[in-house]
A = this chain, B = another copy of it.
Amino acid sequence: MMKFSARFEGRFPHVIVVGGGFAGLELVRQFKNQPFEVTLIDKQNFHTFQPLLYQLASGGIGPDGIAYPLRKIVGVIPNIRFRMAEVQSVDLVQKCVKTNVGTFPYDYLILATGAATHFFGNKAIEAQAFGLKSIQDALALRSSILLRFEKAINASSKDERLSHLHFVVVGGGPTGVETAGALIEMKQHVLPVDYRELDASEMKVTLIEASPRILAAMSPTSSERARLDLEQMGVEVKLGVAVQSYQSGVIRLSDGENLKAETLIWSAGVKGAFPEGLDASLVGKSNRLMVNRYLQLQSHHDVWVVGDVALVVGDEQYPNGHPMVAPVAVQQAKIAAFNIKSQANGKPLRAFKYRDNGSMATIGRHKAVMEAMGFKLSGILAWLGWMFLHLMLLVGFRNRLIVFINWMWNYFSYQRAIRLITRQDVFTGQNQKSAYQNENQ
């Protein structure tokens, strides 16, 4: 085994990985103890397990179950170091990455910078709606949901009260479906116990999807099953309508209907997120960076792009790009690592081909849909399978244990134990929060 010193010596090619998401973690695994010096850069000091953010927002689990310190992973690997830094720009000509803590030159650059909530240019919605892409987003939403219940008690009219108790989720993908399900379970199990002063039947959850069905990545059978489950639990599902505007607590829909709601959760779209300094000619659909089938930028074969931010050009099976999900990110990370090692050794590269292992979404207690290897599953078995797979995908035994205990607790008590309002300051929506962060950093 090779020996590496704590400080890099430049004996080996320097690989910079930007982003500690699913792809970033897989890259760490692939480069561990290999003849490369690797710098992992992320603006947070932890990996976020995004698929469970909705449970953080609804008080089912705490941040410590789904966030994992990146240094805990990287700390013990001699040839990999971590830098908590905000990447300001990438210079493809000088081959360096500029960050708020200094400039890092690279031999190989891998962008695994993920995706951000896509508001399709609607600034008013962006300023007021909640996204669900980060721990901070989810904590802000948790505080806001619970504050709405408090405000409903003190409302001066029934109209105002109903508006506080109406939660509108936009986007019928897995995140939207799971969030709507979690909210309606709060109506069933939290509201009647914690808020005797309120009439729980006044709480309302609406799920809005612009296309004709939810969970469009799954079969029509699973979509229909999920819709029926949601409706049976009390969610109003509106299909084939889009949100046009959100002004003074009124959501205007494309079919002319107006919904009054103080809370709008936006899971209707994501777009690639990447640093400045990359030419517009590199950017394709959904703001993703276009790469060849080896996952390289066409113009710069020392730059690799993986995960949500990558748009593979020339894969006829996925002409609009691969789905922005963890399995794609992990599989691409493996190929990118393999190809960088091959390129360094003058060996042939391998093209990326996505192996789709299926898809799933949980709806509520004993309710989920799952499709894998040609099988369709729903109900309690799919629900148990969903939980098992998510536990296994969490990073580290401690986090699995903590999430498992919370799930058991929630299951048997019917509660969401962590209903804490820790962020009174951010309840008005994510944009106020961002504005503050920008000012004060």
- Interchain residue pairs with CB less than 8 A apart (7): A44-B421, A46-B420, A62-B62, A72-B419, A136-B422, A398-B409, A402-B405
**Which of A76-84, A106-114, A174-182, A246-254 lies on the face that meets chain B?**
A76-84
Q: Closest CB of chain B to A37's CB: distance in Å?
A: 13
| Chain B residues with CB below 8 A from A437, complex form | 424-425
Q: Does A325 sit within 8 A of B, measured CB to CB?
A: no
A191-199, A210-218, A333-341, A363-371 - interface stretch: A191-199
Against B, the Cβ 8 Å flags (1 = close, 0 = not) of A410-427 are 000101011111101110
Q: In this assembly, does A91 line the interface, its C-beta being within 8 Å of a C-beta of chain B?
A: no
Residues 68-79 of chain A, each 1 if its beta carbon lies under 8 Å from chain B, else 0: 010110011000
Known A62-B62, A440-B432; judge A75-B421 contact (CB<8 A).
Answer: no
> What number of A residues sit within 8 Å (CB to CB) of B?
53
Q: Which of A28-36, A146-154, A162-170, A286-294 contacts B (4 or more CB under 8 A)?
A: A146-154
A102 interfacial contact with B, CB 8 Å:
yes
Q: In the bound complex, how far is the Cα of B392 from the Cα of A309, in angstroms?
A: 49
- Inter-subunit contact A45/B419 (CB<8 Å): yes
Task: Chain B residues near A372: list those with CB within 8 A.
Answer: none
Q: In the complex, which residues 424-441 of chain A have their Cβ closer than 8 Å to any Cβ of chain B?
A: 424-426, 428, 432, 436-437, 440-441
Q: Are B405 and A425 in contact (CB under 8 A)?
A: no
Decide if A7 is an interface residue (CB 8 Å cutoff): yes
Q: Which of B6, B76, B405 contacts A197 (CB 8 A)?
A: B6
Residues of A within 8 A of B (CB): 6-7, 44-46, 62-64, 67, 69, 71-72, 75-76, 81, 83-84, 101-102, 135-136, 139, 146, 150, 153-154, 193-197, 398, 401-402, 405, 409, 413, 415, 417-422, 424-426, 428, 432, 436-437, 440-441
Report yes or no: A424 in contact with B402, Cβ–Cβ below 8 A.
no
Looking at the assembled complex, report how far the CB atom of A230 sits from the nearest CB atom of chain B, in whole angstroms: 27
Contact A63 B422, CB 8 Å, known A154-B102, A194-B69, A440-B436: yes
Query: How far is A419 from B69 in the complex, measured between Cα atoms in Å?
Result: 6
Chain B, Cβ-Cβ closest to A196: B6
| Contact between chains at A83 and B417 (CB < 8 Å) | no
Once the chains are docked, how many angstroms separate the CA of A44 from the CA of B437?
23
For A402, list chain B residues within 8 Å (CB): 402, 405
Selected contact of A69 from candidates B76, B84, B196, B420, CB within 8 Å: B420
